[in-house]
Structure 1
Amino acid sequence: MTTDSFYKRALLEVGQYGKFQKKFDCLYNILLSVLWCMAYNNIILALTVIPHTCKPPQKQENFSLLTGKYKDIPPFNQFNETIELSSCFITYITTPNNNKTTECNEYTYDNTWYGSTVTSQNNWVCNNEIYMDNVLAYSKIGETIGSLFFGWFGDTYGRKPSYIISLSLLITGRAISLITSHSYTFFVTGCIIAAFPSTFALQSISLISIEISSPKRRSQIAKYRLIASSFGMCLMPLLYWWLRDWKTFLIVTTVTQLPYLIFSWKIIESPEWLWVNKKPKKCIRQLRHIARVNNASLEKDTENKILSESHTTGNEEALGPLELFSSRRLAINTFLQLCLWVSVTVSYIVSLLSSGEKSDGNPFLEFTWQALIEVPAHFSAAWLVEQLGRRYTSAASSGFTCILWMILGLRELDVFSWLNQGYIGTIIGIVNRFSITIAYYTINLLNMELYPTRLRQSGMSLGNIVSGGAAAVAPYILYVVCKLSS
């Protein structure tokens, strides 16, 4: 019997899907995923640029407002002059043939849906609108750098410390942004700190769950986490719609992480990680705890084997991310995954940031509908990866997403008039999000499955690094597209 078989036998004895695993799924893979998703992504809604116009001057003088971004706002008369509302410029009529156009000094915001956002509070609009894209991009750069650290840290020091530090940094970063929102520099710093751990809190949880369960449950665990995250994305805009104020919204969504941080000492360390890293006594202690909850027992002979046998990879020196390219097959798998991470991430972030942005109705509901479509998409992805396999599901969904983006591009270029119908854009956007979500589900599952235990978090880390780099570019892609279309 190989040394790997000793651990597998131990896991069979304590239970691979008993009461412990079910409770773990409910508390962490489902509930934490919902709450973490809101706390981690709340900054996206808080940075929404809401409709705005130049604030008319108070004194009675001839002036006119130039047409800006919002071209469909009707003109109205004031002071016997025709005034057309603009989002960024104001024109003063000094003489009949001499007008002076300047940028707005003050703005009036449409508070129909949003009571306040970071951008409306700080006037990050018009020429300063790039500040919002910078915040998102810098956050993703911080996420990329954090992935370099946490991938190595999680494989070296364990899943549990990685989980605890991730929670701490998210809460700390959001607190800094809230307290210092008047300062662009400090606000960005807080966002970077919150983004630094990336999604390693959830990934650490997923790894622990995978490493205390049978291999057949890997797809189920990924499905739980991603579906729960989608529900979090659905609830988040509805919560903002109710609260309306961005600070209250950030506080409410972030404070949900405090109970998990306070009681983080109760979470187990992955027994498989402990065993691989030559900590057999701690490994047995965690296995006994699982066995107690599952009303099972760990055989004495199995304990002795775990204590006496050394894991075959235990003496190998870890090379970190470089080891992911140590063999031809491993290098090919890693390279193809990284290419997929780039395409999926850019598609997902652009789709996410544009959700509801051009909606003529309720932007919160538009955001919710697009997030809600992710739920059946995850179920569909789980079925497809079992029926077609990971590779074909990934290729088909990525190809279909590419076609939909080209159709949306033709719509922006006004190539076909029928594509300009409002409901057509909504349908294409929802179907596109459905397809992107299937691709996103597949790459997450592949990333967890293709690497051995000692390289699993490093592999996920490298995926996060490349994904973070792609996500940092996505806001600028959307910014350029919006400027061209306006």
Structure 2
Amino acid sequence: MKTYPESIAFLGQFGRFQQMVFFLLCISIVPNGFGAFTLVFLADTPSHHCRVPDVNLTEDWRSAIIPVRVVNGKPVRSSCSRYRLDVVRNLSDQGYSPDHDVNLTTLEEETCKDGWIYSKDVYQSTIVTEFDLVCNDKWKKPFTTTIFFVGILVGSFFAGQLSDKCGRKPVLFVTLALQTIFTFIQVFSVSWLMFTVLLVINGLGQMSNYMAALVLGAEILTGNVRLLYSSLGTCFGFAAGYMLLPLCAYFVRDWKTLLLVLSVPCLAFFPFWWFIPESPRWLLCQDRVEEAEAIVKKAAKINKVQAPGAIFEGYNVAKAKTDPKEPHSILDLVRNVDIAAMTVVLCYVAFTISAGYYGISFNTTQLHDNTYVSCFISGAVELPAYVSSWLALRYIPRRLSVIATLVLAAIPLYLMQLVPEGYFGLSLLLEMVGKYAITTGFGLMFAYTTELYPTALRNTAAGICNTVARLGSCIMPYLLELRSYSKFLPYIILGSLAVLAAFATIFLPESFGRPLPDTMRDMRKRERINCPCLPKAETPVAVLLMDNPKA
């Protein structure tokens, strides 16, 4: 029986059909780019101080009622306290001057009982100003980011398995609908709790549709076009959304309007349903050969080529002999020692890359006084990173590529603590090198993971790895909070994780230059993890011949 790429070779690699699938799927990924980092602007905290009610106070006392603190050598107004209003009002009524008659440091302070006044120099409003997520409630801000990534984690876990059971296409559009609809509904949030609940549901669709689109395109496309799509195509779609976010946020400074601007245009993606087909590979794995042939014949008509009468002739018979029909589940990822060990290593590497990627991304937004410029730079540096991942996928073995990017990411993170105080440009350069390297690894791992697992488990495996990766993004807000103890501590932790991940990658099997496995039998033939602690099995002669065409 011919392999899937051989069966559809008559279509060519990049005809009109493949171009349509390629570009529509890339466009469908754009919302993930701005959705993943929307909280950079939605949850930013502008400068603020206690509100002073409209009582009888002189202008001098109204200005002096907010204590002044020294932060990093600079005097700033307190954000969470004021001098006791009744005491200040009494002193003002008696004609005392705050500049000459009273030692302000002796006055008792109180919390902001009447709320806060927020600066509108940058934002008209954010969820922080809307729901007062400051002072005693400031813990809610990092928790909001974490709970969003928890939603992504849960969505990744279930979406991968649903995609393998129900199909790539339905999951792609259902998760896209979750993102669009619940981003829109968030506009009407009347409390932080309501906003957070809706954010979790929104997160169920975030990245889940990215994974569905990635796997769908990787299974439809073949050869170098598949590599181009899995690395440059999908990643450029994500980066486009990432860079679009600060441009939209710059012109829309109100959080509710920004959510509307980001959600409503996504309705234009739903007509794609009639142009993006289901994965023929997946249909074949479900024994739906006629449906798979119908899609390929329609593709042949679009490409204006003649399709053979029976494209997958004898597929059911050959499949029954080589891979008897059996239900597949998440347990297949751990039943075999080699596959289980490979899954554990891939999950750890994905965890490290996700923690590093989101940690550096959220931190780099603070590298410039202008948050919009910071966010745009952080997004723009991803473009050369994705080009590098594409070149690496095309010319360099997968293991070597991933190890190199992890080491390159760790080195600048360690060097950050050696930069002398005041060398801002050097610190920025090192952090951008780290962002470039970790982003390159991000692009590599998506493609690497899809190449190691068979069609029946591909989305489940990608979903599990993506789920574990989300754990890295969930801890990211609290990892960045460690800067209050030492500003270099997050860098040291992320660098150490990257070094360990590089070492673990050494034991992964290689997939460079090999066809995608369609069945568990195909996977078991070759996916042996290179760990000396695991028992070695004899390699069948047939496998040696398959892996060495010259033999």
Q: Give the TM-score normalised by structure 2.
A: 0.78
Q: 2:469 aligned with 1:461, yes or no?
A: no
| CA deviations over 1:45-85 (Å, ceiling 9, x no partner) | 211222333345544275543345855655xxxxxxxxx51
Give the aligned partner of residue 32 of structure 1. Answer: 28
Shift of 1:289: 1.2
* CA distance, structure 2, for counterparts of residue 141 and residue 120 of structure 1: 24
* CA distance, structure 2, for counterparts of residue 161 and residue 367 of structure 1: 33
Report the 3-state secondary structure (helix = DSSP H, G, I; strand = E; otherwise coil) of the residue aligned with 1:53.
strand
| CA deviations over 1:198-252 (Å, ceiling 9, x no partner) | 3122222222222122243332112111122112211211110011111111111
Give the counterpart of 2:479 among 454, 477, 480.
Answer: 477
Give the aligned partner of residue 447 of structure 2. Answer: 445
* CA distance, structure 2, for counterparts of residue 314 and residue 21 of structure 1: 31
Gap change, CA 1:32 and 1:9, over 3 Å in 2: same
Q: Is the 1:6–1:306 contact (alpha carbons within 8 Å) kept by the matching residues of 2?
A: no
Give the counterpart of 2:201 among 181, 193, 204.
Answer: 193
Gaps of 5+ in 2: 89-101, 488-551
Shift of 1:28: 1.8
Give the aligned partner of residue 45 of structure 2. Answer: 49
Report the 3-state secondary structure (helix = DSSP H, G, I; strand = E; otherwise coil) of the residue aligned with 2:38.
helix
Shift of 1:405: 2.4
Gap change, CA 1:58 and 1:358, over 3 Å in 2: farther
* CA distance, structure 2, for counterparts of residue 426 and residue 52 of structure 1: 28
Shift of 1:39: 3.9
* CA distance, structure 1, for counterparts of residue 267 and residue 451 of structure 2: 31
Q: 2:329 aligned with 1:319, yes or no?
A: yes
Give the aligned partner of residue 378 of structure 1. Answer: 386
Q: Is the 2:280–2:295 contact (alpha carbons within 8 Å) kept by the matching residues of 1?
A: yes
Q: How does 1:83-98 map to 2 (within 5 A)?
A: 85-92=77-84, 96=103, 98=106
Give the aligned partner of residue 67 of structure 2. Answer: 66
| CA deviations over 1:313-372 (Å, ceiling 9, x no partner) | 46022122x212233332232121111111111111112222323532x21011101110
* CA distance, structure 2, for counterparts of residue 141 and residue 24 of structure 1: 31
Q: Is the 1:146–1:197 contact (alpha carbons within 8 Å) kept by the matching residues of 2?
A: yes
Decide which structure has the larger Cα Rg and report it: 2
Give the aligned partner of residue 226 of structure 1. Answer: 235
| CA deviations over 1:228-280 (Å, ceiling 9, x no partner) | 21122112111100111111111111122212224424421101100111101
CA RMSD of aligned residues (A): 2.5
Give the aligned partner of residue 203 of structure 1. Answer: 211
Give the aligned partner of residue 548 of structure 2. Answer: none
Q: 2:5 aligned with 1:8, yes or no?
A: yes
Give the aligned partner of residue 163 of structure 1. Answer: 172
Q: Is the 1:73–1:85 contact (alpha carbons within 8 Å) kept by the matching residues of 2?
A: no
Report the 3-state secondary structure (helix = DSSP H, G, I; strand = E; otherwise coil) of the residue aligned with 1:108.
strand
| CA deviations over 1:13-67 (Å, ceiling 9, x no partner) | 23332111112222222x2222442245424421122233334554427554334
Shift of 1:444: 1.4
Report the 3-state secondary structure (helix = DSSP H, G, I; strand = E; otherwise coil) of the residue aligned with 1:395.
helix
* CA distance, structure 1, for counterparts of residue 484 and residue 227 of structure 2: 38
Q: How does 1:72-151 map to 2 (within 5 A)?
A: 74=75, 85-92=77-84, 96=103, 98-105=106-113, 106-151=115-160
Q: Is the 2:46–2:118 contact (alpha carbons within 8 Å) kept by the matching residues of 1?
A: yes
Gaps of 5+ in 1: 75-83
Report the 3-state secondary structure (helix = DSSP H, G, I; strand = E; otherwise coil) of the residue aligned with 2:360.
helix
Gap change, CA 1:464 and 1:67, over 3 Å in 2: farther
Give the aligned partner of residue 79 of structure 1. Answer: none
Give the aligned partner of residue 96 of structure 2. Answer: none
* CA distance, structure 1, for counterparts of residue 118 and residue 484 of structure 2: 19
Q: Is the 1:133–1:476 contact (alpha carbons within 8 Å) kept by the matching residues of 2?
A: yes
Tell me the percent identity.
21
Shift of 1:89: 2.4
Q: Is the 2:66–2:78 contact (alpha carbons within 8 Å) kept by the matching residues of 1?
A: yes
* CA distance, structure 1, for counterparts of residue 425 and residue 3 of structure 2: 58
The residue type paired with residue 43 of structure 2 is L
The residue type paired with residue 318 of structure 1 is H
Report the 3-state secondary structure (helix = DSSP H, G, I; strand = E; otherwise coil) of the residue aligned with 2:358.
helix
| CA deviations over 1:159-182 (Å, ceiling 9, x no partner) | 0111121012112321332111x2
* CA distance, structure 2, for counterparts of residue 235 and residue 389 of structure 1: 33
Q: Tell me: higher relative CO, structure 1 or 2? Use CA pairs within 8 A at least 6 residues apart.
A: 1
* CA distance, structure 2, for counterparts of residue 221 and residue 419 of structure 1: 43
The residue type paired with residue 305 of structure 1 is G
Shift of 1:380: 1.7
Report the 3-state secondary structure (helix = DSSP H, G, I; strand = E; otherwise coil) of the residue aligned with 1:302.
coil
Aligned length: 464
| CA deviations over 1:416-462 (Å, ceiling 9, x no partner) | 6x243332332222222111111211211211211111111011111
* CA distance, structure 2, for counterparts of residue 342 and residue 108 of structure 1: 40
Give the aligned partner of residue 242 of structure 1. Answer: 251
Q: Give the TM-score normalised by structure 1.
A: 0.88
Shift of 1:307: 6.5
| CA deviations over 1:365-424 (Å, ceiling 9, x no partner) | 11101110110111122223444422122112212322322333x27xxxx6x2433323
Gap change, CA 1:387 and 1:9, over 3 Å in 2: closer
* CA distance, structure 2, for counterparts of residue 200 and residue 16 of structure 1: 27
Gap change, CA 1:69 and 1:161, over 3 Å in 2: farther
> Which range moves more in the overlay, 267-276 or 252-261?
252-261
* CA distance, structure 2, for counterparts of residue 430 and residue 186 of structure 1: 36
> Which range moves more in the overlay, 118-127 or 183-192?
118-127
The residue type paired with residue 444 of structure 2 is T
The residue type paired with residue 473 of structure 2 is A
* CA distance, structure 1, for counterparts of residue 126 and residue 73 of structure 2: 23
Gap change, CA 1:469 and 1:131, over 3 Å in 2: same
Q: How does 1:339-418 map to 2 (within 5 A)?
A: 339-357=348-366, 359-360=368-369, 362-408=370-416, 410=417, 418=420
Moved over 6 A (4+): none
Gap change, CA 1:136 and 1:300, over 3 Å in 2: same
Gap change, CA 1:421 and 1:284, over 3 Å in 2: same
Q: Is the 2:367–2:428 contact (alpha carbons within 8 Å) kept by the matching residues of 1?
A: no
> Which range moves more in the overlay, 300-309 or 219-228?
300-309
Gap change, CA 1:442 and 1:483, over 3 Å in 2: same
Report the 3-state secondary structure (helix = DSSP H, G, I; strand = E; otherwise coil) of the residue aligned with 2:205.
coil
* CA distance, structure 1, for counterparts of residue 306 and residue 371 of structure 2: 54
* CA distance, structure 2, for counterparts of residue 439 and residue 68 of structure 1: 43
Report the 3-state secondary structure (helix = DSSP H, G, I; strand = E; otherwise coil) of the residue aligned with 1:150.
helix
The residue type paired with residue 319 of structure 1 is S
